[in-house]
């Protein structure tokens, strides 16, 4: 099952691996020096959603993720990669090869140091730098990576593609080999941007303009200001003034909190921390400070980040394909085995293809299992829909 995949990108020491560990509950190597991470880490985060199983009085059998008390945990794939520095597109630092790992991501989470206490290359500094400069630097490097990717071997590619009489959108899609982008959308972007349809006459400025347009449209970049525990209000204000959509968090405090809970030093309910009797005075003080930071009005927990990114920014809805329209099971009797986080606007036929290309090709009709009604192939699905697809290939 294709999960939503999110890539964490940012300069060295921004706290990507710390956040990765907080989101996925998996330990990644964390260090106070640049380039701690040299190989990508892959793990799962989860978003919570109300499971339809309660409506039919059974317990579901999720193939992936889990469900308890009618609350389903839907897995989201997270990738943590090495830090990116200025000049990475010319091979500086770890080079930009690793960005290839986030190519298949639906969105890039740009993790930056909102405290401004590390320089652009990740080394700690005494005087705060403006985090907006860090955001610009990373955005610039991502665009340069895309330009480099696009222009590599362009002449040969353009003359070969022109000879096949393919539409340029199809050719570009193949060259970019990025998932989740459809030809129609790329085609409309090409014509809206006034790009030459003859690929062989593309110039440097077309590569840059195309890369910027492509990233803005197809690879949303979501700003994640980390280390708010060490930030001052002026710096936060400066970031929010320029980038009001920024999500703020503290990977470090989230990890500390989950470790405290694991060690039995505290319990957390609805983000309220209750220290246990075992907690020492310094531990209580530390937990009180964590409570203060996580209660900041603009603060987001790892769970809130996942939900905001997937549901709001990427506009995904949860749909449950099943075979048996009354029992909501697959052919083996598993109740609600799958939950797909699909784009808003996904239709019944899109879902059929998502389940399997054969199911899509053999599509006969779809049934809205809750309303027990046949829906047309172009019917737009809603959040939490349970859909049975009748196909010749079943």
Ligand X SMILES: Nc1nc2c(ncn2[C@@H]2O[C@H](COP(=O)(O)OP(=O)(O)OP(=O)(O)O)[C@@H](O)[C@H]2O)c(=O)[nH]1
Binding site for ligand X (CB under 6 A): 10, 12-18, 30-32, 34-37, 82-83, 226-227, 229-230, 250-252
* Candidates 8-16, 252-260, 289-297, 341-349; binding stretch for Mg ion (CB under 5 A): 8-16
Task: Provide, rounded to whole angstroms, the least separation between the CB of residue 12 and Mg ion.
Answer: 7
Q: Which helix (H) or strand (E) holds 36?
A: none
Position of tokens 């010749």?
392
Report helix angle 16-24 to 251-262, nearest 10.
40
Q: Which is nearer to ligand X, 246 or 250 (CB)?
A: 250
Q: 178 exposed, middle or buried (CB, 10 Å; 0-12, 13-18, 19+)?
A: middle
Q: How many other CB atoms are found less than 10 A from the CB of residue 344?
A: 13
Q: Which is nearer to Mg ion, 37 or 388 (CB)?
A: 37
Q: Site for Mg ion (CB under 5 A): how many residues?
A: 4
Which string of x and - marks every residue 27-66 that binds Mg ion (by CB under 5 A)?
---------xx-----------------------------
What secondary structure does DSSP assign to 333-349, as a single string?
A: --BS---EEEETT-BHH
Q: Which is nearer to ligand X, 30 or 310 (CB)?
A: 30
Q: In angstroms, how far apart are the furthest CA atoms of the chain? A: 75
Residue 377 in tokens: 């192939």
Task: Provide, rounded to whole angstroms, the least separation between the CB of residue 113 and ligand X.
Answer: 8
- Say which entry of Mg ion, ligand X, none residue 252 contacts (CB below 5 to 8 A, set by partner kind): ligand X
- Say which entry of ligand X, Mg ion, none residue 316 contacts (CB below 5 to 8 A, set by partner kind): none
Residues forming beta bridges with residue 47, ordered by sequence position: 74
Distance, CA of 39 to CA of 221 (rounded, Å): 22
Task: Provide, rounded to whole angstroms, the least separation between the CB of residue 23 and ligand X.
Answer: 12
Q: Are 53 and 70 in contact (CB under 8 A)?
A: yes
Distance, CA of 63 to CA of 147 (rounded, Å): 39
Q: Specify whether the backbone of 3 is left (phi greater than 0), alpha (psi in -120 to 50) or beta.
A: beta
Q: Closest residue (Cβ) to Mg ion?
A: 37
- Say which entry of ligand X, Mg ion, none residue 196 contacts (CB below 5 to 8 A, set by partner kind): none
- Say which entry of ligand X, Mg ion, none residue 385 contacts (CB below 5 to 8 A, set by partner kind): none
- Say which entry of Mg ion, ligand X, none residue 149 contacts (CB below 5 to 8 A, set by partner kind): none
Residue 58 in tokens: 């059974």
- Say which entry of ligand X, Mg ion, none residue 251 contacts (CB below 5 to 8 A, set by partner kind): ligand X
- Using CB under 5 A as the binding rule, whether residue 118 contacts Mg ion is answered as no
Q: Are 204 and 212 in contact (CB under 8 A)?
A: no
Task: Provide, rounded to whole angstroms, the least separation between the CB of residue 191 and ligand X.
Answer: 39
Q: Are 4 and 106 in contact (CB under 8 A)?
A: yes
Position of tokens 């080999």?
177
- Say which entry of ligand X, Mg ion, none residue 323 contacts (CB below 5 to 8 A, set by partner kind): none
Candidate residues 17, 118, 143, 250; the one interacting with Mg ion per rule CB under 5 A: 17
Q: Which is nearer to Mg ion, 18 or 323 (CB)?
A: 18
Q: Which is nearer to ligand X, 36 or 329 (CB)?
A: 36
Distance, CA of 295 to CA of 308 (rounded, Å): 17
- Summarize as ranges the residues that interact with Mg ion (CB under 5 A): 16-17, 36-37
């Amino acid at each position: 099952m294709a999960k939503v995949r999110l890539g964490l990108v940012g300069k060295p020491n921004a706290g990507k691996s710390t956040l990765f560990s907080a989101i996925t509950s998996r330990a990644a190597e964390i260090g106070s020096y640049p380039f701690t991470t040299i190989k990508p880490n892959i793990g799962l985060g989860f978003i919570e959603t109300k499971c339809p199983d309660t409506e039919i009085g059974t317990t579901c059998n999720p193939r992936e993720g889990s469900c308890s008390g009618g609350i389903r945990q839907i897995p989201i794939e997270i990738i943590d990669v090495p830090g990116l520095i200025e000049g990475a597109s010319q091979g500086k630092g770890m080079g930009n090869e690793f960005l290839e790992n986030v190519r298949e991501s639906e969105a890039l989470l740009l993790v930056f140091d909102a405290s401004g206490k590390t320089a652009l290359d990740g080394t700690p500094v005494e005087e705060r730098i403006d985090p907006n400069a860090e955001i610009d630097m990373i955005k610039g490097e991502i665009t340069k990576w895309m330009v480099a990717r696009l222009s590599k071997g362009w002449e040969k590619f353009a003359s070969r593609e022109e000879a096949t009489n393919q539409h340029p959108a199809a050719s570009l899609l193949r060259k970019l080999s990025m998932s989740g982008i459809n030809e129609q959308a790329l085609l409309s972007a090409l014509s809206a941007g006034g790009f030459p349809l003859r690929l062989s006459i593309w110039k440097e400025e077309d590569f840059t303009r195309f890369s910027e347009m492509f990233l803005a449209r197809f690879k949303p970049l979501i700003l994640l200001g980390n280390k708010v525990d060490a930030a001052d209000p002026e710096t936060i204000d400066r970031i929010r003034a320029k980038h009001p959509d920024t999500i703020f968090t503290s990977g470090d405090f989230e990890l500390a909190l989950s470790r405290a809970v694991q060690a039995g030093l505290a319990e957390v309910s609805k983000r309220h921390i209750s220290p246990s009797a075992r907690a020492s005075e310094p531990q209580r003080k530390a937990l009180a400070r964590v409570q203060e930071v996580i209660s900041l009005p603009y603060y987001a927990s790892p769970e809130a980040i996942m939900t905001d990114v997937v549901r709001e920014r990427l506009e995904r809805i949860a749909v449950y394909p099943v075979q048996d329209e009354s029992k909501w099971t697959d052919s083996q009797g598993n109740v609600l085995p799958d939950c797909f986080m699909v784009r808003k606007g996904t239709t019944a036929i899109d879902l059929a293809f998502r389940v399997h290309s054969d199911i899509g090709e053999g599509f006969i009709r779809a049934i809205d299992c809750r309303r027990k009604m046949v829906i047309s192939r172009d019917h737009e699905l809603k959040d939490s829909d349970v859909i049975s697809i009748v196909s010749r290939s079943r």
